[in-house]
Amino acid sequence: MTKSFVVAKINLKQSKLSYLITAITCGAVVISLFVNFCIGIEDNSSVSVGNILFLCTILCAVFIPTLNFKKLMHLNVKKIDFFYGSFLNYILLSAILSALNLLIFFTIDKLLMLRTGIMNLIEIFGWINNGIFLAFLQQFAFLLLTAVVIHTLTALQTSWVGWTVDLILVAIISVFTPIAPLRAYLVGFFNLIIFNSNAFAQIGICILLSILIYSINLPVLRNKRID
């Protein structure tokens, strides 16, 4: 377990590109919000900086199984340690960014709402209606699931399995979307993991799916070649 913590620490240090891209994006959004705030333009399409920070988790989930994996393997890190260490990364990132978004929502967002429109996912998805603690857990669970799905899809791209999964996902979306009965199942799935009226169910489902989906990475890692 100690080695997994070391891997997580290295991953965080080696994710500077993710931090840089997120910082630049946040900077652009902050400038836009500041201008709107100063001149009193109400732009209801403005996205909260707290939500832009979620980009960091998404980018890390792309770079960790690609760039960081190769670097760590060349440092003689065991694949099993990379497996657990990376999952720990997503747990930490999801928790930190969830907390930061709540902080921004109750400070910066509330201030900007007095002069300009702004959107935050915790309000759009209705999570904040369940209280701060549950809103934090709901964000955390959803972010963790998002990171795990992106990490897994990225890791699979190095083999024919990844392309097969991509085709299946495209087929599901293409077939389920135009057909009303099938679309209802697709909508129902997103209701379970996002708009679930039962916060505990939403949290539990997201965490369970995260564990199940991430477990796919173990056999993928064992068979993955190190270039």
What per-residue confidence (pLDDT) applies to 16? Answer: 92
What per-residue confidence (pLDDT) applies to 1? Answer: 62
Higher per-residue confidence, 214 vs 191: 214
36-50, 51-65, 170-184: which range is least confident on average?
170-184
Query: Does residue 124 fall inside a structural domain?
Result: yes
Question: Is the four-CA dihedral 115, 120, 124, 130 of positive or negative sign?
Answer: negative
Query: Does residue 227 fall inside a structural domain?
Result: no
**Could you tell me which residues are beta bridge partners of residue 119?**
47
Query: Does residue 199 fall inside a structural domain?
Result: yes
Provide the H-helix boundaries in 157-216: 160-176, 180-193, 199-214
Query: Does residue 121 fall inside a structural domain?
Result: yes
Query: Does residue 215 fall inside a structural domain?
Result: yes
Query: Does residue 13 fall inside a structural domain?
Result: yes
As a whole-number percent, the residues of the chain with pLDDT over 70 amount to 81
Specify the number of domains making up the chain: 1
**Residue span of the structural domain in which 30 resides:** 2-222
* pLDDT single digits (tens) 88-118: 999 999 999 999 999 999 998 887 766 666 8
Query: Does residue 91 fall inside a structural domain?
Result: yes
As a whole-number percent, the residues of the chain with pLDDT over 90 amount to 45
CB 152 within 8 A of CB 215: no
Q: Supply the Cα-derived Rg of the chain in whole angstroms.
A: 19
Mean of pLDDT over the chain: 84
Query: Does residue 188 fall inside a structural domain?
Result: yes
The stretch 188-201 carries a mean pLDDT of 87
CB 105 within 8 A of CB 48: yes
Angle at 159 between CA 82 and CA 155, to 5 degrees: 30
What per-residue confidence (pLDDT) applies to 189? Answer: 78
Question: Is the four-CA dihedral 140, 203, 146, 116 of positive or negative sign?
Answer: negative
The stretch 157-185 carries a mean pLDDT of 62
* pLDDT single digits (tens) 69-91: 888 888 888 999 999 999 999 99
15-24, 58-67, 153-162, 209-218: which range is least confident on average?
153-162
Q: Give the whole-angstrom CA distance, residue 148 versus residue 135.
A: 20
Angle at 174 between CA 169 and CA 176, to 5 degrees: 90
